[in-house]
Chains A and B, each alone.
Chain A
């Protein structure tokens, strides 16, 4: 089941060109509607889906309650973390989903991006107590 969802996700990331470095660059240049259309329409439907699940208390496939974890309130961690992520997103042109898709496409240099992002996560874990959250 999760493998199927992942394959669907990978195909979507590739075919939508959201995994393309060029599309990310173009998005930050505001020179195309494409990426905004993707995120915007995913979001519009996503909001409706989440509201429906909450309103009608829809149960999961396994009959369990669907929980949404509210994120902790903070400003600094989201803005600083967000800016750091954005800098990397624009430079590497890939976020944590599509970078895996690109291995399948055969772009092996992306493995350097993946390993570095794992190292980045690890360093964050080490410094966590010392960073403003």
Chain B
């Protein structure tokens, strides 16, 4: 049973994701996480400001339960099923990141430089986190889905729009890392 404490290889993780999508389909639902962000807007009363948020949020309650589960899953995964939090990325990648100033590369799960609880008091980090989050939320809704909705669910159903969206994800991600990171960090 020691393998469970190690990071899961892709050939376990990928099929697990497919299995989760299968369970949701068999429950008559769709696998799409960013829909929750819209639901939360509606619960907060955004329906008064834009028609887009006028829908019966209770029909999406199940999906909110899924993300509550995802929080609990993160807790179980990290506290009970993991002994070493370091992510063993490619040594070349670690080198690149060290040059950019991320000394925690290869030593932790997330870069301490951005995600350490104490780094919350740095203006630059707050900007990075809030701009990143804003783009994720805005882009996901504009594109009609995120990684789960398009790259997994949509492509599994061989939907052309999802392929276009995933190509967009990569254009955006590559631009950020190859052209913008050297300017930001």
Contact = CB atoms under 8 A, between A and B. Distances in A.
A80 B168 contact: yes
Interface in B4-51: 4, 7-28, 30, 33-34, 36-38, 40-41, 44, 46, 49-50
B90 to A, nearest CB: 4
B87 A6 contact: no
Contact of B136 (A17, A50, A96): A96
B171 interface: yes
B167 A82 contact: yes
Interface in B82-115: 82, 87, 89-90, 92-93, 96-97, 105-106, 109-111, 114-115
B175 A86 contact: yes
A11 B130 contact: no
Interface residues of A, number: 114
Interface in B125-144: 125-126, 128-144
Main secondary structure of the interface of A (DSSP, over half): helix
Nearest to B25: A66
A73 B133 CA distance: 27
B177 A90 contact: yes
Interface string A42-57: 1111110110010000
B168 A85 contact: yes
B38 A125 contact: yes
A90 B136 CA distance: 9
B42 to A, nearest CB: 9
Nearest to B140: A85
Interface residues of B, number: 126
Contact of A97 (B68, B70, B138): B70
A116 B125 CA distance: 13
B82 A15 contact: yes
Interface in A57-103: 58, 60-62, 64, 66, 68-75, 77-103
Contacts of A118: 37, 40-41, 44, 137
Nearest to A36: B10
Q: Which 10 A-B pairs have the closest CB atoms?
A: A6-B69, A10-B73, A82-B168, A86-B172, A88-B135, A120-B137, A104-B74, A92-B132, A81-B143, A37-B10
11 contacts: A5-B24, A5-B69, A9-B73, A26-B89, A32-B93, A45-B18, A77-B143, A79-B167, A81-B144, A83-B172, A85-B140
